Amino acid sequence: MIIGIEGKILKKEPTFLHIKTNSGLVYKVNVSLFTSSSINTDDIFLHTTLIIREDHHTLFGFLEMAEKNIFDTVVKLNGIGPSTALAICSTLTPSAFASALMNQQIEAFTRVPGIGPKNAKRLLVELSDFSLETMDGGTINNAQSEAMMALESLGFKKERIKKVLTTCKSTETTLLIKEALKKLG
């Protein structure tokens, strides 16, 4: 499994790069528009996902691990292929994706080419139990996850807790729980 690639960029297009490694091999790596626009040097390291199909092997690269995590999760969903998953990563930043998922914003997902209202609703349902920690590479820190567990044990719904925790300013678990309880109550 190829999990990363480092080398020199020989060709850069909006949706793919040709990267020459130190061994002399040149790889075509598909990238999101956000990754492509963030590249400002010839030497690069990308986190990668290799998709193997019967007729081809395709390499997808990401500057941020959070973007790769979103791609890896979304591409596993029924009816979402690598092209659509890359379109999601090109349309929504990791924080915008996390926010849209947490707030159940169908319109955010319908902006993605190839996803209509019906597929957007299905996407939200299938990703409803998805951890924001995994998705956004750290949207929820330890204090927030401890607070979430404590609030869940008090009987609050997970979706509601996630929404409230994103608006809280505290960084310590006890203060975070108190602040969230005020907003939940």
CATH number at residue 171: 1.10.8
Number of domains in the chain: 3
Distance CA 101, CA 128 (A): 7
Which residues are CB-contacts of 3 (< 8 A; sequence separation ≥ 6)?
47, 48
Which residues are CB-contacts of 120 (< 8 A; sequence separation ≥ 6)?
106, 107, 109, 110
Q: Is there a single domain that holds both residue 70 and residue 124?
A: yes
Looking at residue 131, what is its pLDDT?
55
Give the other-Cβ count within 10 Å of 74's Cβ: 24
Which domain does 169 fall in, by range?
Answer: 142-184
**Model confidence at 136: pLDDT above 50:** no
Q: How confident is the model at residue 138 (pLDDT cuts 50, 70, 90)?
A: very low
Mean pLDDT of 72-97: 92
- 137 found inside a domain: no
- 174 found inside a domain: yes
Residue predicted with more confidence, 148 or 137: 148
Mean pLDDT of 79-98: 92
Looking at residue 137, what is its pLDDT?
45
Looking at residue 162, what is its pLDDT?
82
State the chain's mean pLDDT as an integer. Answer: 88
Q: How confident is the model at residue 112 (pLDDT cuts 50, 70, 90)?
A: very high
Q: Is there a single domain that holds both residue 120 and residue 156?
A: no
Q: Is there a single domain that holds both residue 52 and residue 96?
A: no
Query: How do residues 147-179 score in pLDDT, each as one tens digit?
Result: 888 888 888 888 888 888 888 888 788 888 898
**Model confidence at 106: pLDDT above 80:** yes
Q: Is there a single domain that holds both residue 58 and residue 70?
A: no
Query: How do residues 10-57 score in pLDDT, each as one tens digit?
Result: 999 999 999 999 999 999 999 999 999 999 999 999 999 999 999 999
Domain containing residue 78: CATH number: 1.10.150.20
**Model confidence at 88: pLDDT above 90:** yes
Spell out a b/e string for 20-34, using b for 16 or more CB atoms within 10 Å of the CB, else e. Answer: eeeeeeebebbbbeb
